Copies of this chain bind each other. A is one copy, B any other.
Amino acid sequence: MRIVFFLYEGLTTLDIIGPHDVLSRLPGVDAISVSKDGGEVSADTGVLGLTATHAMADVDSCDVLVVPGGLEGTFAAAADEEILDWIRAVTADAEWITSVCTGSLILGAAELLEGRRATTHWGAIDLLEGYGAIPTRERVVFDGKVVTGAGVSAGIDMALALAAAIAGDDVAQAIQLGIEYDPNPPFDCGSPAKASPEVVALAGRTLS
């Protein structure tokens, strides 16, 4: 099974690294990373970069594609016909097409979400309808072969659910234990429904 982690300029690194540290640990998979030209991409923070093992031109099919989100870089990727053409081609026979956070907007731009239930970061959920998707406020959404996760950290939950679908519960549980994913956040404010209005406003300013 070939799993492809797609990297593009300005991505949010946790969006892709969460799934990377789950799905790469599935037994027997051929996991690789792909950027447009095979080189480095910068994180949306500018604090570090990620490097890919392959260029888009090297890879013409996969079993699982993971597309991360980001800020301005995501909109640039969603407007890049070369990227969209490659995503359509590489997923033509894929078993699973997945995204985290605003990565679903790239899948939408590639016309892969039409008529499908999908999620994204809470701050972008209203944009999904423009791609013919059915916006769904859940943390992980399975619709056929398309699996979308909510914002940033939801990629870990998405990938563990996908790992269970691919390899069974025991393997997924062993991976969850391996990454010691027994979350204990200091606050109960990780969704807009749980955070105070002041925190929602502060988070909105940080995101823009």
> Which residues of A pack against B, CB within 8 Å?
5, 7, 12-14, 17-18, 20-21, 24-25, 27, 31-33, 40, 43, 45, 47-53, 101, 121-122, 139-140, 150-154, 156-157, 160-161, 164, 169-187, 189-192, 194-196, 198-200, 202-203, 206-207
Contacts and interface: CB of A to CB of B under 8 A. Distances in A.
A31 B47 CA distance: 6
Contacts of A173: 187, 189, 195-196, 199, 202
A50 to B, nearest CB: 6
As for how many copies of this chain the complex holds, the number is 2
Q: Give chain A's interface secondary structure class.
A: mixed
A38 to B, nearest CB: 12
A18 B14 contact: yes
